[in-house]
Structure 1
């Protein structure tokens, strides 16, 4: 059974929170605070930003997916199901 996109994104947030160096990069890039991580953990748009961040680097995607026994495309599929995921990317 496939997990819902928001559940997978919440797992990604939890994994990110456990990666001190990477979490610092995420917080610096997004301006999110520790309070934001807790307060917005159920916000689909915030969770989408977590997936957007992780999807910037294949190594991050693979590390998360390996840690959770998921196929490499799991994050991309979850991102497509969250707000803005169906929007065209012009880059």
Structure 2
């Protein structure tokens, strides 16, 4: 996936997360972030990657986000791996 496309998906994910009144505080609590961070770091690719990483922790969240954004369910994870900080996954 192209970096620009991945960032677009990440921006969509950030918008979805911010609008999700129950889930956004969970994200902020798990990252130690604040509401100001959502604004201040919105253009930081590493922060955007953390948003995608958070959402992809739960299949239900992925499905809700993708259904709302009109994306295939594999797109958030593909976007995550196209952004900085995604290392190669080793299952052994």
Q: Calculate the TM-score normalised by the size of structure 1.
A: 0.91
* 1:22-64 deviations in Å (ceiling 9; x for gaps): 0010000001101100000000000000001000000000000
Structure 1: which 5+ residue stretches go unaligned?
Answer: none
Q: Does residue 77 in structure 1 map to residue 63 in structure 2?
A: no
Residues 89 and 30 of structure 1: CA distance in aligned 2, closer, same or farther (over 3 Å): farther
Equivalences for residues 38-77 of structure 1 within 5 A: 38-77=39-78
- Which residue pairs with 2:5 in the alignment? 4
Higher relative contact order (CA 8 A, sep 6+): 2
Structure 2: which 5+ residue stretches go unaligned?
Answer: none
Q: How many aligned residue pairs are there?
A: 90
Return the offset for 1:7. 1.1
* 1:6-35 deviations in Å (ceiling 9; x for gaps): 111011000000001100100000011011
Q: Calculate the TM-score normalised by the size of structure 2.
A: 0.90
In structure 1, distance between residues paired with 2:91 and 2:10 = 23
| CA RMSD in angstroms, aligned pairs only | 1.7
